Structure 1
Amino acid sequence: MKLTEAQLAIDAKKYSKKAISNADRAHFADFYHQQQKDLCIQAIEGQRKVIKKPTRFNHFMTTKSARKVFRGPRKGVKHKGVMKDVSALWNKLSPEEQAAYQNGKPQTRPNGDTRPTDDDDKESEEGGTRKMISFKQVANKVENFMDDCMSKAAHIAKTSNCEMIMFAVSRHLAAHSFQFGKATHGAPKFLASAAHLDGTKHYPACMQSYLTGYEVAEIAELARSKRGPPKSRPVLIPKCLSDLVAEKTDSVILRWPWTATDWKLAKIKFKIKLLPGARTQIKWLKQQSRNMLAIVKAAIHLDLDRKLIDIVYDPSIPVGITEHEFYGTTPPQSRHSPSPLPSPLLS
């Protein structure tokens, strides 16, 4: 017959009688034994390899006592001395103990003792069901890891005259999915500008689209749908800004400087930076919060939640610059706290 295996299978299914008799069962049993016989003949002739079952010594090699011999340097399988040590352990066993490894590791001791052996499956008791993973904890863990990497990369970037950018996106689009982008001190402006110019098609979104199989527009729509109604913000603005400046300056400044803000930050080579899309005006951050209107506080809270208000390191600020020199190149209104002025947001 010149038909292929697939064609024969189609014909067999087409003309099948949809039932099996005792004669058919006997025929298939004889056919199976004939196949095994032919396989053995071909193996003897060298045309096939027979897969042997594990021996007693193979089962003994999976025990903890045997695996312990291979722990340490220069104790691999390729080192003949180690295999001799395992063989010595095997030869110390009596014939009855060796026979207990015929079908695997013995569950009881060879002398009939019902106490558990040292090789019982303790791992199966400890394994259990895997715990559920918190996506929120995972997102925080990834962001903390990236912050640590960027803190270490800052020294390399400065000494090697380079800048680094790191991206991380989640492989899921459920709650607490993330698109993180971190950069060394000279690249945040480029990172923010690229995100502003590319819109929803920025690099992290494209990367997440590739990983999840969703379109970039669908990912943006899912992100918007997860926001929900705004939450109440009982935390006061001074507390929020103090936490921000303490985090960004590694606790060099613990309280937000409401007066001479630019100068106090410049003394440690930092400055305020508003990212694209921020509704806050810098002058609002340099006046006492008691004078702020509710709409101004809401805007600052919103930008803080969206991380659009940042304190960044500015290497261009000269070391040891005096207050007079600093304000000589800075607009006068930065020297003192300005009075509230009308703005488009308030009108």
Structure 2
Amino acid sequence: TIDTTDILIDVTGLDKNIVHSMLNILAYNFAEHGWIIEKVKIVTPNSIEYTPQEYGEKLNLDKNYVNMITGLNLNENEITYLLKKMRYNAEVKGNKIEVKIPPYRLDILHQIDLIEDVAIAYGFNKIIPELPNIFTIGHELHIYKVVRKVRDIMVGLGFQEVLNYIMTNKNILFEKMNKKIEKVVEVMNPKSIQYTVLRNSIIPGLLNFLSKNKHVEYPQKIFEIGEIVHIDNNEETRTKNYISLGFAITNFSLSLEEGLAVVYALFKNLGIHGFKLTPLKEEPSFIKGRVGKIVIDKINVGIIGEINPVVLKNFELENPTIVCEIDIEKIGKLFRSFYL
């Protein structure tokens, strides 16, 4: 009420450091509004503590490091003054600056975080830009020129772009797709059962998207260009990222030829001729006889097919669905003229 003069803040939790941090933030938030912070004495069998904390961690800041990062020429006293403007308790000690970090600044982890605040206090607008003494020419990565061109073509073909997370789960990636569980990159301590692995295909995400949008009028034509991750023990990280295009079409009446027409139009606009469709005998996610590999110059660059009714039922989809996934990077390596 308006007559309240004292408030006791009680914070509980399983992690002592987090509990102290949250208490500090709350207490100093009240202080910003004119309240006076009083400490509470906590007596335990092994120690006596006073909360909230007045100051948090201490960090030593090197003047030369500050000047190297910011491009300025500040002395210790100037840096100390700027830090105090940002509410730090700073003091010059020898050739270092000892900085006491306010307990509510949980974002300060390294000297570089302090240097950022020094630059803010100094004023970014006062820092004069300088050209580096090296000769470099920046340019867009070639693969993203391909990506941009493919995106424009797909939009021109009447598709709507969607964006899914690279993280998913084995249920969507394998079980709903009627596939055996494969080895994929898994998250060690996932926060949610929805996001436990990194996807190795774009198609399951597209089907999941369609299952959430059954109320939208038909036909539905969507595509996504994004990264997938495969395990590769030859890489330093034992994984390798690929950029893929995936598209899906669903309608009351649909045939594989409609999907192939999209592939043909895409490749024609990219200047690709002579791709072949090689039938796949066993692909449990697709209807037998209505699925094949997309091959260019004897290189497998993708897959296209009509989704198996079992998979449609798993995703609660009611209409025939054609999906396709094409490796953009393989296309780019085969036809570098796309980049121009």
TM-score interval, normalised by the smaller of the two chains: under 0.3
User: Based on CA coordinates, which of the two structures has the bigger radius of gyration?
Assistant: 1
- TM-score if structure 2 supplies the norm length? 0.23
* Structure ranking higher in strand proportion: 2
Return the structure number with greater relative CO, CA threshold 8 A, min gap 6: 2
- TM-score if structure 1 supplies the norm length? 0.22
* Structure ranking higher in helix proportion: 1
